[in-house]
Amino acid sequence: MIALGSDHGGFELKEAVKKHLEERGLEFKDFGTYDLNSCDYPDFGKAAAEAVASGECDRGIVICTTGIGISIVANKVKGIRCALCSEKTTARLTREHNDANMLAMGGGMIGKVQALEIVDTFLDTPFSELEKHSRRISKIED
């Protein structure tokens, strides 16, 4: 199950991601926002991150206008490794090297086609399991 969250600046891209996940047959839980009315990204980023940290959801995708604020919020939740990605290479590397469990994107920064490619790369790339990466993740968690 994938946790989703966005503010008004990421709402339209989140809706596109939801449709894409449905087409892929992947389950998700939408933690809001549910319309284009102005709102505060910390409310929705935190809710999605807590769902991932608790194990309710396996991974999360959060979106605000730039992706910066909502990624900061997600990373405040213990156990979350959220990476802000704007292209496929960083999405692949954050999974391989950091075992990131959340993806952040900027709804005002990237287009739909590129965003969905990032989502697919993030979801389809496994952690490398290399000792050096596991060691570094342990240091992050400490």
Predicted confidence (pLDDT) per residue in 117-139, tens digit: 999 999 999 999 889 999 999 99
Look at the chain and report how many structural domains it folds into. 1
φ and ψ of 46, to 5 deg: -65, -45
Which amino acid appears at position 61 of this protein?
A: I
The DSSP secondary-structure symbol of 126 reads: P
CATH number at residue 77: 3.40.1400.10
Q: What percent of the chain has pLDDT over 90?
A: 96
Q: What pTM was estimated for this model as a whole?
A: 0.96
- Taking only the tens place, the pLDDT of each residue in 56-70 is 999 999 999 999 999
Query: Can 20 be counted among the known catalytic residues?
Result: no
Look-up of token digits 């008004």: 8
Report the distance separating Cα 81 and Cα 124, nearest Å.
17
Provide the residue range defining the domain that includes 118.
Answer: 2-141
Of the residues 8, 57, 64, 85, only one is catalytic, namely: 64
**CA separation for the pair 102, 43 (Å, rounded):** 16
Length of the chain: 142
What's the sign of the alpha-carbon dihedral 125, 77, 50, 7? negative
Residue 141: the pLDDT is 86
The string of pLDDT tens digits covering residues 74-119 is 999 999 999 999 999 999 999 999 999 999 999 999 999 999 999 9
Q: Give the type of residue at 19.
A: K
39 in catalytic set: no
